[in-house]
Structure 1
Amino acid sequence: MASPITSSFQTSNLRSAFFGERKGFSVYSAPAANVGFLKKAVECKESRIGKQPIEVPTNVTLKLEGQDIEVKGPLGQLSMTYPREVVVEKDSGFLRVKKAMETRRASQMHGLFRTLTDNMVVGVSKGFEKRLQLIGVGYRATLEGRILVLSLGFSHPVRMDIPDGIQVKVEENTKIVVSGYDKSEIGQFAASIRKWRPPEPYKGKGVKYADEIVRRKEGKAGKKK
């Protein structure tokens, strides 16, 4: 039988700052050892993306060692280390990323690392590309070996070194195609190109992604005569 909760009342006297009289009040206290807390189990749902298997093409080779994975294909080679919350298993031409424990963080990592793994497999076998477009009078792009030269209305042209593992192609002097096998590297380099002259909302001038929709704004209307 649980021990009964004992309580005590203490009386304290305080002098009123306004009336100069003493007022008493009572404080109820209970032993902390007898106070209980209700524990609620955290329900971790399985990730809709994480539970999908990853198909591995025949031209891609995998190497699994503990939490490390190495993917090699005709376009390149990528590697990654998984956190302890997830594990990866190979099953007859498929990869499956599973949770190693039932925690909230494991549920978050499940879908993320399944997507990263799929990007690695697709990247080394098929590759990725990002397209950009230059809009503006005199805006153009050219290639000088492994250097991308941009004319964007500045007093001097912008010269950008192309990282290893990334290919850049210029079409019609105003269209840039960035391709490679590492999706994150492609996105980062494409973003660095766009950063030099982001599209402005009034005339749409600048560097934008080919599938980007720029919301236009109306300019200030002149005074009526």
Structure 2
Amino acid sequence: MEGQNLSAKGPLGELAITYPREVKVDREESGLLKVKKTVETRRANQMHGLFRTLTDNMVVGVSKGFEKRLQLIGVGYRATIEGKDIVLNLGFSHPVKMRIPDGLQVKVEDNTRIIVSGYNKSDIGQFAASIRKWRPPEPYKGKGVKYADEIVRRKEGKAGKKK
């Protein structure tokens, strides 16, 4: 801790954060970090909650890490890893190639399950969202890229002709 800056170093990596003036961090004797407000305003309340969570994510990230799981659902939908790229076949006329960012690890299981892991939670979520954005799950057949814990609400198709 240095003034309004806090850095965390662990077995998985190192992260740093700069706090706004509405929030300060104190280290207790037990080693716990306490995020406190310096003023009582609406913005201070917002910053307090945000930076408390960011601090927690930072400490957990460098010590244990995070992961996001994605599933590819659809005939012919599959993923492979080629060097530092992930290649997605999602029913387009061309395969989709995406560069894996530094600090993230990507594994593919059974060609249809993707695991994005690393120590920076926001980077993991951003990369997983960019993969999902290519083919979000659609409500009629459920095809697309979805998070493993996501539930896709299905819709009925056309009612058909009445006789």
Q: What's the CA shift for 1:154?
A: 0.4
The one-letter code matched in structure 2 to 1:129 is E
The aligned counterpart of 1:169 is 107
Q: Rg larger in 1 or in 2?
A: 1
Q: What's the CA shift for 1:100?
A: 0.8
Displaced runs of 4 or more, over 4 A = none
Cα distance per residue 1:42-78 (max 9 Å; x no partner): xxxxxxxxxxxxxxxxxxxxxx110011110000000
Write out aligned runs for 1:150-169 (5 A).
150-169=88-107
CA distance in 2, matches of 1:164, 1:129: 15
Q: What's the CA shift for 1:101?
A: 1.2
The aligned counterpart of 1:13 is none
Gaps of 5+ in 1: 1-63
The one-letter code matched in structure 2 to 1:100 is T
Aligned identity (percent) is 81
SS of the equivalent of 1:120 reads helix
CA-atom RMSD in angstroms: 0.7
Relative contact order: is structure 1 or structure 2 higher (C-alpha 8 Å, sep ≥ 6)?
A: 2
CA distance in 1, matches of 2:45, 2:72: 41
Q: TM-score, normalised by structure 2?
A: 0.97
Matched, 1:193 2:131: yes
CA distance in 1, matches of 2:3, 2:128: 34
CA distance in 2, matches of 1:107, 1:160: 38
Write out aligned runs for 1:133-144 (5 A).
133-144=71-82
CA distance in 2, matches of 1:82, 1:105: 13
The aligned counterpart of 1:68 is 5
More helix by share: 2
Gaps of 5+ in 2: none
CA distance in 2, matches of 1:139, 1:224: 36
CA distance in 2, matches of 1:103, 1:203: 48
Q: What's the CA shift for 1:221?
A: 2.1
More off after superposition, 109-118 vs 183-192: 109-118
More off after superposition, 105-114 vs 77-86: 105-114
CA distance in 1, matches of 2:124, 2:112: 19
The aligned counterpart of 2:50 is 112
Q: TM-score, normalised by structure 1?
A: 0.71
The aligned counterpart of 1:8 is none
The one-letter code matched in structure 2 to 1:103 is T
The one-letter code matched in structure 2 to 1:135 is I
Question: How many pairs were matched up?
Answer: 162
CA distance in 1, matches of 2:136, 2:45: 36
The one-letter code matched in structure 2 to 1:67 is Q
The one-letter code matched in structure 2 to 1:79 is A
